[in-house]
Chains A and B, each alone.
Chain A
Amino acid sequence: MNSLLPLFVVVPLASTFLIMIIGRFVKDFNKYFTAAVLLFLAVFSYYSLASLHGGLALCKVGGWEPVNKVPIGIYIALDGFNAIVICIINSVGFLAAIYSISYVKRYTGENYFYALFCLMIGGMNGVVLSADLFNIFVFLEISVISSYALVAFGVGKNELEASFKYQVLGSLASFLILFGIGFIYWKAKTLNIADIREAFKSGYDRPYYLFVELLILSGFGLKAAVIPFHAWLPDAHSSAPSPISAMLSGVFIKAVGIYVIIRLFFNMFVITEGMAILITTLGTMSMVVGVFLAIGQWDIKRLLAYHSISQMGYVIMSVGIGMILVARGVRHEIAVLAISGGIFHLINHAAFKGLLFLNAGAIEYTTGTRNLKEMGGLARSMPATSATSFVASMSISGIPPFNGFFSKLIIIIAAVMARFYLLAALAVVVSIITLASFLKFQRYAFYNKPHDTDDRKFREVPFPMVLSMAALSVICLLLSLLAIPAVRDAVLTPAVDILTSTVQYSTSILGQ
């Protein structure tokens, strides 16, 4: 199993080239091949998750064994935490690929679309699996650059503008990250995360690394669209083709943003309370400001994009609370609760936000507009879209029995238990405003009267699109099961354990 880990990166990269070559000659090869590849990756990711048993799987690419216990090869590691993220990437990716089969027909150059799509998946898998900083950076660039191209895929005026802004701010982020990595390499003389952690044991130059931590935090914060680094997100996520929006909002910002922040700050840097408080503050700010930005929007995809900022705020805030408690070294069980709430919400967000963007795409596909003021009464003509988007809206608003309720419940209870009453109250307020804005979406899109000037007859979207929306809404319901203690112990607890016992990651990598 260990030696199979590079498949997560190799398979999508290889299929990118295959699609570019074979797709030119064989009609429809690209779409079905992409779906098949992602199905394989999704199944393989669940298999990997199930066969981990809370341990850590490590692959030293090329068989380069460590010399004097100093790792020299490229390390690919799978543990409880990134296994979850890998599952999210590939399953949402699979459903988005299925959805694309019908959706992307409206664009020219389908070959490029699927090639870039696979490239992006490969890049994200690489970021999440890499156990050293430099490979994280390389794969980050692979996935980010393909996402620039995908955002601009519509080649309209808005798409190009959005992509340009995204590129400028994205390169800024890459610059900050590379800068930070350079600083670390200068001092620690290594790029392997586990080895860096090991180097910190002999002494942690506090002021020096504080600067590095801030560089890394703002760099990956830009990728994760944490306020005040969020400005590129609403444009980019709303301009991309809808399956790509679903990938960007549902998966991308988590894989290359949140995941890396969590991983580096727990398992590489030495956690300090000040930094933990800063991260919690950033998360809280994103959560609150994001939702206020969202509720005023009338463009569906912009509304959803702003909510991504807000929901990622929940994740960061909750993990940050756990980080504060870990830094203080007190109340370990509450830190575990907070972090597992955050990760639970991260999983849930992938499901419901992915679904919501697919719904928005279905609406745009049928009606040709994204403006809520120009639609209405779609529940009758698009029953499947209406039902699935209702599920997603209720999930993101935290209404039982859908998954978002349980993760928000855990987050709020953890905040109360950790005595962060203000944060708990803010989480509740944001949840209410989220509910309000999604009911606005429901009301103007699906309920209400059909728009006056509109006498066209709308039909439900094609079957592949309905299929992937239905699958995601079932997933939204099933993810609630993660709230059941036994299931939580099996899935979330290994992920939380590797984060809270901060040195475990490095010792188990260096030990193998």
Chain B
Amino acid sequence: MNDIVLTIFLPLLAGILLFFIPERLKTVKGILALLSAIAAGFFAVSLSRADIVAGTPGALSGGGGFSILGIDILGDLARYTVFNPDSLASLIVLFISLFTILILLYSLVYIKGKKANNYYAWVLLTAGCSYGAALSDNLILFITFWGILGITLYKLIPGSSEESSAAAKKTLILIGASDSIMVIGIGIIWKMTGSLSISGTSLNTDNILAITAFLAMLTGSFTKAGAFPFHTWVPDFTKAAPATSSALLPASLDKLLGIYFLAKITSGLFKMNSWLTLILLMAGSVTIIIAVMMALVQHNYKKLLGFHAVSQVGYMILGFGLGTPLGIAAGLFHMVNNAVYKSGLFLSAGNVEYRTGKEEIDDLGGLSKAMPVTFISTLVFAMSISGVPPFNGFASKWMIYQGIIDFGGGSSIACKLWAVWLGAAVLGSALTLASFIKLTGGIFLGRRYKGLENVREVPVLMWIPVVLLAIICIVFGTLATKVIVPGLFMKVTGNFSFSGFWDSSFVSLLVFVSIVTGIIIYLLTGIRKFRSEDSFIGGEVIQDETGYPTPEFYKTFGEMGFFSWMYRKAGEKWFDLYEMSKRFVLWLSHQVSEAHAGVLPGYVIWVFAGLIVMLLIMI
């Protein structure tokens, strides 16, 4: 019990205290933040699997009551402060600690030169509230923690420029809106079951009320995780925010929590019917495809990563939409994998930005020699996210494919369409690979531009977290079937068997052997003796400033008939729920304001008209 309270409130208290340390001592604040994150992580890991705990905060002060003016403040509160460290929550908590610690370590150097006030305080508050949201078993307590995360997200963007302030505003509006919608869902659940317990509730989705509640909760989960159509804050946020903020929230913690909550609502709070399954699977497929298409045409690498952060959520939703143990395990596994490589990618992007100060792929190139560690890790992350064996992204995507094929055996309409879901998943994966070739190629390969000659590898504190994440990618990929999935995920979903013949270690061994064979052939047969020439450009002499911006190759794609129309409309924000509702609200606002002309006789007429109308209605 005390472990739970400490896990949640230690970072919260430390975060609040950090507000009072002056900004001059930034590094001291960073170290303090790191220490408290490590301490909280220690308690988080030691959370043993316990039954549902009714926790009073009074337990902190030794169990005694706490009264002001004769009111026992904490007496009734215990009904609301219920925590449930079940296996899924413990898993989430474990990874929250991991990411917080790694990112704080990275921030020590990265954030030093940036103008980010109270950055460490907000990071700690984020961590504390994430722990709280993952562990709470009461919906009110849950939404409180969950809602505070919106504020910390907002505060982790500097907001001092036109663009970043717009992104911050959009982010908090979307997140806050989804939280408000969730309140309706909570109200309906409370009304229907008379209870606010997450673990003790299981609603049948057979009437309109329960379905409304489900959709309201789904909105919250989708917005937090960044799934279509509530995803539009993610790319804007990642473009404007410091890389560490992106790595912390949209890439890892928000994914963990959003998908964690999705898991809770699809397989705990509600019993899904086949139509809801269909909706989930459709949302998943659309998310994968739309986001990856947008990622393909991006020039800003942080925004590109943002779109991928959306696209990957689609896979997890597919996994949970299936509802089978294999699907759920695959969704959870993909959630963890995605958080690992996506935060890795953002940190690598941070490395590049730290040394070059540039954010456009077009302005970068040829950094592989200058930043070898960053390059290799980025390559690992890029192959993981694109689903190349033997990395972890492949393992979880493969499980999702397996799950979809298994699912196709059912009789409902969603099962009949299994090929569509599979097609979307595979196509999405291919397009992901395409856009990551652009990213790694554009930044690290090719000719190095002027002004990039002095670029060096980043300081050790910055590359250690990145390398650790890359190692996790490899370990999770190679040991997927033997250790990781049975050890971490089967505890949550129950046992299941993999269909088909696939053993991640064996496959990895094959990949490894073929790479080694390739190197041996390369070394023995002397293919090394090739000659290198500049590219042939129609006989023209190659100029220093001539470059081949990799993104140009992807232009053709955007110019094809249907796609060009789609991209044009996307440019006009037709697919952005936020922009569309904003236009509608402002139009309506304009209409209402028109009536307020400031003419006094008109206002007097309103008063009497109101009185008369009320009289007419009541009589």
Residues of A within 8 A of B (CB): 50, 164-165, 168-169, 172, 176, 207, 210-211, 214-215, 217-218, 221-222, 228-229, 231-232, 234-235, 274-275, 278, 289, 292-293, 295-296, 377, 379-380, 394, 397-401, 405, 408-409, 412-413, 415-417, 421, 424-425, 428, 431-433, 435-436, 439-440, 442-443, 447-449, 481, 484-487, 489-490
Contacts and interface: CB of A to CB of B under 8 A. Distances in A.
Interface in B58-86: 69, 71-77, 79-80
Nearest to A173: B607
A211 B610 CA distance: 13
Contacts of B180: 398, 408, 412, 428, 431-432, 435
B160 A295 contact: no
Contacts of A431: 180
Nearest to A293: B592
A400 B183 contact: no
A47 B324 CA distance: 61
B611 interface: yes
Nearest to A488: B76
Chain B interface main SS type: helix
Interface stretch (B185-193, B269-277, B352-360, B471-479): B185-193
Nearest to A448: B165
A435 B176 contact: yes
Given A165-B603, A424-B187, A432-B177, A490 B71 contact: yes
Contacts of A443: 159, 165-166, 168-169
B143 interface: yes
A433 B589 CA distance: 11
17 contacts: A172-B607, A211-B615, A222-B607, A235-B598, A289-B592, A292-B588, A296-B590, A296-B592, A400-B143, A415-B187, A417-B191, A428-B183, A435-B176, A443-B159, A443-B168, A449-B160, A484-B76
B618 A214 contact: yes
A100 to B, nearest CB: 29
Given A293-B593, A296-B586, A399-B147, A448 B76 contact: no
Given A296-B590, A413-B190, A401 B619 contact: no
A410 to B, nearest CB: 10
Contacts of B166: 443
B606 interface: yes
A490 B67 CA distance: 12
B609 to A, nearest CB: 7
B610 A210 contact: no
B537 interface: no
Contact of B183 (A164, A296, A412, A448): A412
Interface in B409-445: none
A405 B191 contact: no
Nearest to B598: A235
A165 B600 contact: yes
Contacts, number: 182
A211 B190 CA distance: 40
A292 B592 contact: yes
B611 A214 contact: yes
A292 B585 contact: yes
A486 B73 contact: yes
A292 B592 CA distance: 7
A399 B159 contact: no
Contacts of B290: none
Nearest to B209: A421
Contacts of A401: 144, 147-148
B617 interface: yes
B607 A228 contact: yes
A169 B614 contact: no
A439 B172 contact: yes
B278 interface: no
Nearest to B147: A400
A439 B190 CA distance: 31
A377 B159 CA distance: 9
A440 B166 CA distance: 9
Contacts of B150: 399
Nearest to A450: B160
A486 B164 CA distance: 43
Nearest to A424: B184
B151 interface: yes
A274 B615 CA distance: 12
Contacts of A377: 160
Interface in B145-173: 145, 147-148, 150-151, 159-162, 164-166, 168-169, 172-173
Given A169-B607, A448-B161, A486-B76, A399 B173 contact: no
B76 to A, nearest CB: 4
B484 interface: no
B535 to A, nearest CB: 42
A45 to B, nearest CB: 15
Most buried by A among B162, B164, B180, B602: B180
A433 B177 CA distance: 9
Contacts of A439: 168-169, 172-173
A400 B125 CA distance: 13
Contacts of B188: 416
A486 B75 contact: yes
Interface in B264-317: none
Contacts of A448: 159-162, 165
A405 B147 contact: yes
B254 interface: no
Contacts of B588: 292
Given A168-B600, A221-B610, A399-B179, 17 more contacts: A165-B600, A169-B603, A176-B611, A214-B611, A218-B607, A218-B610, A289-B592, A292-B592, A380-B160, A400-B147, A412-B184, A413-B186, A417-B187, A432-B180, A443-B169, A447-B168, A448-B161
A447 B181 contact: no
Contacts of B161: 448-449
Contacts of B169: 436, 439-440, 442-443
A447 B159 contact: yes
A210 B610 CA distance: 15
Interface in B558-591: 582, 585-586, 588-590
B160 A447 contact: yes
Given A399-B176, A424-B184, A435-B176, A484 B77 contact: yes
Contact of A435 (B74, B173, B186, B606): B173
B151 A399 contact: yes
A405 B150 CA distance: 13
Contacts of A228: 606-607, 609-610
Contacts of A428: 180-181, 183-184
A214 B617 CA distance: 11
A447 B166 CA distance: 9
Contact of A485 (B76, B159, B191): B76
